[in-house]
Structure 1
C-alpha cells in the first residue's frame, strides 16, 4: 500500500508539520500522522448517504 504525504499539513493532535500520510483502505481514505500515530478517515460520499442518523456503522462491504 502506497502512502502519499500531504505537504504543509499539520497534525491536529501533536501539531507536527509534514508528517501526515494518506492511504486508501477498503475504498476509505485514511490520514495518519507518522509522528504520533493519530488517524483520521472519511468514507466516500455514497457511504455517508447510506448511514442513518441514529446508528453507528462499523463498515459497509461491497461484493466483488
Structure 2
C-alpha cells in the first residue's frame, strides 16, 4: 500500500470559496488532483490538459515536477 503525499500550494486561492493557502495537490493514476481543505472543492487535470498553455502570450521557463 502506497501513501499519497499531498502538498499545499502556497499563495493559491480556491476558485469556489476564495480562501487562500487551502489548496492541496497530489497525483492519482497520472491525474493531478487539487482540493480545497476548507470547502472541499476539487479539480482533476490530466497530463494532456497541463500541456495546453493557460496564457499563450507568456513564456514558460520551466515546469517543476517533484516526483
**TM-score with structure 2 setting the length:** 0.65
Match of 1:34 among 7, 32, 37: 37
Tell me how far 1:35 sits from its aligned partner: 0.3
Compute the RMSD of aligned alpha carbons: 1.3
Tell me how far 1:11 sits from its aligned partner: 0.2
Tell me how far 1:41 sits from its aligned partner: 1.2
Please state if 1:15 is matched with 2:18.
yes
Tell me how far 1:25 sits from its aligned partner: 0.3
**TM-score with structure 1 setting the length:** 0.68
Question: Which residue pairs with 1:44 in the alignment?
Answer: 47
How many residue pairs match? The answer is 46
Runs of 4+ in 1 over 4 A off after TM superposition: none
Whose Rg is larger?
A: 1
- In structure 2, stretches of 5+ residues that fail to align are 50-67
Tell me how far 1:45 sits from its aligned partner: 1.5
